[in-house]
Amino acid sequence: MTVAMTAAPQRFRVQGWDPVLIIVSLQALHYLVLSLVLPALVTIFSSSDLLQYEGGGTSIALAMDWRVFTGSTVSGIAASRKLGAGLVSLESARSATRGWTAAAAAAAGELDAASLSHGVVRVLEYDAFRGWAVALGWVIASMADIFFLYHIVRRPTHILDFSLTLVFVHLILTIYYSSSFPTSFFFWFVVGASSVVQIVLAEQLCVKREMRDGFSLGDVTPHLGVEMTPRFPDLELGQATGHGSKQSQSGDGTAQTCLRKRAWTGEEPKASLLKRMAGPSDLKAGVGGKKTADEVQRIIFEASKGSKYFNDQQRRDKELEIKVNRIKGILASKELTAKGDEEQKVDAILEELAEKRELSRVIALIDADAFYAACHELEDPSLKGTAFGVGGGMLTTASYEARKYGCRSAMPLFIAKKLCPHIKSLKMEPDLYVAASKKIMVTLEKYGPIAPASLDEAYVDLTDYCANQGVTPTEAISRLRADVQETTGLTVSAGVSPNKTLSKIAADINKPDGQFVIDSTAEACQAFIKGARLRKCYGIGRVTETLLNGLGLETVNDIYKYRKRLYLVRDHLGSSGVFRWLLSLYLGMGSNRVVRAKRGDRKTYGVEKTFTPTDNRDALDDILRKVAKSLAKDLARSEFSGRTITLSIKHDTYERVTRAFTPGKNVWIRSYEDICRLGLHLLRKEMDDRAAAIRRGEKVKGGKGPRIKARLLGLRMSNLRDDRWVKATPSKLPDMQLSDSDSDMLHESDNSDEGEGDGWEASKRQLEQLAKDAEVDPLAGDDDWDDSHGGASGSGTGRWMVVDDDDEDDVVLSGKTRSLVSRTSSLPLARPTTARRTSCSASSGSTSTSAKHSAPSSSAARQHSPTDSRASPTASTDSRPAMKRKTESTASSKPVSEFTCPVCQKTLVGSETAMSGHVAQHFEMPAKKSEKKAPTSSVTRKGAGKGAKKKR
DNA sequence: GCCGGAAGGACCC
DNA sequence: CTCCAGGGTCCTTCCTCT
């Protein structure tokens, strides 16, 4: 089945959507399968003698009479109708429920009195296997239906309906056929259970496909009715060709209700879409309010309607809706089998989590008010009180005056103008903001360790300040805020609590120039967060919020209220730790670690550019070159190189794709030439690939046009290496890093002390990973989400980040203590192909590992040296020296040179990177079949979490 | 069993 | 009339191809 499914052409599209036709064909297919399967099963498992008298295994009754499920094969009235009077009397002499299916037998026409009575006698022995066989047949047919549903119905939202309809129709038929209402528990159970399984599986498959292939909205009317009244709740507009949105709540009950409840009001703008259009920052829209939230939403909606952007949002909204429906479905099915002890289980977890509560610290989040806008006001006081925004095209900030009209950050200017016609827009002036930010941070540092989260936001650990000065947190934060205002002229808001999670929410409460302090008691923390809307919590975005709303949750307190639901769907909540994270959220817990991000924490550098959409290849090339240049400049300025480059394209349709390339294990990209070449190469390749895919009739992103029409191009460099670190290491070729001396050196050093550190760091990492959802740091008492919050994502506004640039060497050095990716112990033998490729692509030694984070990784060094020597002689001896010589000369002299590929003997002109890339392409990926596994990570995690907790 | 690359998403500011 | 950014991080899933 799987084979057939994957092999099946994807071209089938629901064009003329005809529910009747669909249900008829489904029903037909279902019975077809039954009729194929049942005879075989029954013949195998049932008493053949009996069968003979009932018309054999091909008797229609097997499929149509519910009573066969009971194992006994009876026929009551239906049979008697068709049989002679003599038989009827014989029948009626029997009990109403014991006997045999005379109908079929009669149809077969092979009945004589002797065998009849013989049969009757035998039948009374009761064929125990019959019921099981038939049930099995039904289950098989139901599973086959999954296939049909998947291909015929396709839309996840409709699976439930059709599935239930099928059963419903069968019910009617079987009642008619046997002239009695099914009273067999077994029958109901089998039919019910297989339906549930069928629905769940089919939906999942469909959702998966839709996620994969993208959405075919060909059947959706592209244009929403103008006077869309969101309020006809359950109107039946006939079903016509509209697209239904699922309106019935889970738990609506029977099949019939489900079918009826369906409202095919495809033309109504859903609240979710309205909300979506309002942008990400639509919360508490009434800040002062020259316009009501409703008005604002409407204006935005009107302004957006019909645009490409709008269509994209609509598409996403549909996808999200499916996701929500899916999780609702899962919940519904899980509730059927719920054991009833879920709440206790959750309570136990809560208790366990609560034990780790940490209240000893005083953590503040300081957040500048309308930061960019405020900076401009500082420069030009005449701006005060006027409505203006910062950023052309897209607002990054709106002044408070502009906010009264509903203008928000991340809002396009032209919409802001609709909301507030007199809004002024100012150009961004990064230098201004950076300078101001630095001033703020400097001030903050007087009050304790700080962790900038972005230009305008930072966490401050006030614990020691409070202790030393003998002041309350409230007093401390008041001083701090006054201090900042005095020294910078900017107002800031602050939230204070025992952890970052709460402080973040608290800072929002008295937003402009205000503060909110939460007492350091468990009660205060919990009481505080209880009433918060979910969306307020860091980490809960639009999608998660909608998902949770779908489960009935609105506020943090609902996490507790609906803990059973959450528990039941805990494996489908997105990433694996979410469930426990939510629980800890409810408890008002969070990380309290305030650590400044270091230079080495940067993971990627990227540049992207939006432009008026074009499909002109030259124009696109040109833009990409500019992007490459900008990226190269960034990298050069901060002295980083990267191993993998990623091209990202945003199509005219707003669908995004990314295409990445990693030339080789030890090839470091950094020069403009290389970036440009690789970028263009990726772009070309994508153009070709896409065109080819279209020719093949596959579905691709960005419309059906054979050429890419893009509105954005971007390049991003990842797998970074800190070149300052490399420089600090005595290495011959800091640029192209192929020198063996590196490897020797690193080898030495890590064997001695770094190796130890690395191991320790690595295991610490692992522990942290494992402790994730347990919300405990085995070592420091911090946790997953917040870790990313306070720590790494502090890189925030990219190149303006304060942390980043002009750091001194000591920072670099300290950066190395912090090991990143778990580079677990040595991996002795690399796969042959890998080794070959690696060595071929000019890796000889290993500066490889991201030197920036630390520990010139022992493993990396070890990993390569042995492999190299062991590598297939043909490849390595031939190619490597040649490569190396070439590259060395290249690196030292000019960026571009000639070179002969050791494999294909072609002569190429290009830089080192290009060469390596070329050579690498000659080698296939390892031909190993990687069988995949989905380890129930929750189990391991849980175990680890517990372990960690105990340890603590 | 893990690593690792590639692709896609969710989130944040 | 022009008509929705750009900088990041982290996490998950799937692993070749005509």
Tens-digit pLDDT profile for residues A848-898:
333 333 333 333 332 333 333 333 332 222 222 223 222 222 232 223 333
Residues lying close to strand C (Cβ under 7 A), chosen from 794-813 of chain A, are 795-799
**Of A878, A906, A931, which marks where a domain is finished?**
A878
A511 touches strand B (CB under 7 A): no
More confident residue, A365 or A763: A365
Give the CA A391 to C1' C4 distance in Å. 13
Is the same domain home to A138 and A51?
Answer: yes
Yes or no: say if A771 and A944 are a contact pair by the CB < 8 Å rule: yes
A367 touches strand B (CB under 7 A): no
Is A319 within the bounds of a domain?
no
Backbone dihedral region for residue A452 (phi beyond 0: left; psi -120 to 50: alpha; all else: beta): beta
Note the pLDDT of residue A274: 83
Yes or no: say if A937 and A571 are a contact pair by the CB < 8 Å rule: no
Most confident of A148-157, A159-168, A282-291: A159-168
Is the same domain home to A30 and A106?
Answer: yes
Q: Could you identify the residue written with the tokens 């499920």?
A: A69
Q: Is the pLDDT of residue A580 over 70?
A: yes
Which range (A20-24, A156-160, A610-614) has the least confidence? A156-160
Is A637 within the bounds of a domain?
yes
Is the same domain home to A35 and A121?
Answer: yes
Is A11 within the bounds of a domain?
no
Name A892's Cβ contacts closer than 8 Å, sequence gap at least 6.
A733
Q: Is the pLDDT of residue A607 over 80?
A: yes
The CATH number assigned to the domain holding A826 equals 3.30.1490.100
Q: How far apart are CA A113 and CA A116, in angstroms?
A: 5
Active site (catalytic) residues of A: 457
Q: Which two tokens stand for residue A119?
A: 């049969």
Is the same domain home to A685 and A751?
Answer: yes
A700 touches strand C (CB under 7 A): no
Nearest nt to A937, CA vs C1'?
C12
Q: Could you identify the residue written with the tokens 């038929």?
A: A173
Is A696 within the bounds of a domain?
yes
Is A562 within the bounds of a domain?
yes
Of the pLDDT bands very low, low, confident and very high (cuts 50, 70, 90), residue A22 is: confident
Q: Which two tokens stand for residue A269?
A: 């703008």
Q: Which residue is nearest to nucleotide C7 (CA to C1')?
A: A798
**Of A855, A878, A901, which marks where a domain is finished?**
A878
Is A762 within the bounds of a domain?
yes
Is the same domain home to A606 and A580?
Answer: no
Q: What is the mean pLDDT of residues A365-392?
A: 94
Is the same domain home to A744 and A689?
Answer: yes
Note the pLDDT of residue A857: 33
Q: What is the mean pLDDT of residues A579-607?
A: 94
Protein-contacted bases of chain B (C-beta within 7 A): 1-13
Is the same domain home to A709 and A780?
Answer: yes
For residue A585, the enclosing domain spans 338-357+522-591
The overall average pLDDT reported for chain A is 69
Q: Could you identify the residue written with the tokens 């009209």?
A: A405
**Of A591, A625, A646, which marks where a domain is finished?**
A591
More confident residue, A20 or A36: A36
Is the same domain home to A45 and A68?
Answer: yes
Is A425 within the bounds of a domain?
no
Is the same domain home to A578 and A636?
Answer: no
Give the CA A137 to C1' B9 distance in Å. 41
pLDDT > 90 fraction of chain A, expressed in percent and rounded: 40
Is A513 within the bounds of a domain?
no
Q: Which residue is nearest to nucleotide C18 (CA to C1')?
A: A696
Nearest nt to A685, CA vs C1'?
B6
Of the pLDDT bands very low, low, confident and very high (cuts 50, 70, 90), residue A18 is: low
* Structural domains in chain A (count): 3
A829 touches strand B (CB under 7 A): no
Is the same domain home to A705 and A777?
Answer: yes
Is the same domain home to A846 and A748?
Answer: yes
Stated pTM of the model: 0.58
The CATH number assigned to the domain holding A527 equals 1.10.150.810
Beta-bridge mates of residue A610: A712
Q: Which two tokens stand for residue A320?
A: 């999200």
Is the same domain home to A635 and A738?
Answer: yes
More confident residue, A225 or A800: A800
Q: Is the pLDDT of residue A782 over 70?
A: no
Of the pLDDT bands very low, low, confident and very high (cuts 50, 70, 90), residue A179 is: confident
DSSP string over A228-284: --S--TT-----TT---B--SPTT--SHHHHHHH-B--TTS--HHHHHHHT-TT-TT
Residue type at position A458:
A
Q: What is the mean pLDDT of residues A634-661?
A: 96
